Amino acid sequence: MTTLFISMLKRWSLFTFLKNLLFLAVGINLILLIIWLIIKTLKNKKTDENIIDLIVPTESEEEIKQILKEASSLDEDEEFKDWTPDN
């Protein structure tokens, strides 16, 4: 690796060498950042799926149907029947 840098330094001027070295460092960091973001996203997706799996309704299917039936049968007037401006 050192011989590669020495040979590049002999062929190029110091400014060109440092510029190319900087581009190389930025490119490597960019590639590492992209790989890190992909791994982080995949890990978060896996934990999000686990969280969703843990949320399970405790009511039975019949109780859920009953709750939905009661909720849909409410009239808007019944909801505000006892409401007064003083409340």
**Which residue do the tokens 């992909």 mark?**
38
59 with 67: CB under 8 angstroms? Answer: yes
User: Would residue 81 count as lying in a domain?
Assistant: no
Q: Is residue 45 part of a domain?
A: yes
Domains in the chain, number: 1
Average pLDDT over residues 68-77: 66
Q: What is the pLDDT of residue 33?
A: 96
Is residue 47 situated within a structural domain?
Answer: yes
pLDDT in tens, 12-69: 677 787 888 899 999 999 999 999 999 988 887 766 555 555 555 666 777 877 777 7
Q: Considering the domain boundaries, does residue 86 fall inside one? A: no
- For residue 83, what pLDDT is reported? 60
Q: Which pLDDT score is estimated for 34?
A: 96
Question: Residue 39 sits in which domain range?
Answer: 2-73
pLDDT tops 60 at residue 77: no
The answer to whether 17 and 8 have CB atoms below 8 angstroms apart is yes
Residue 78 lies in a domain: no
Local confidence band at 71 (pLDDT 50, 70, 90 cut-offs):
confident
**CA dist., res. 8 & res. 20, Å (int):** 10
Write down the pTM of the prediction: 0.42
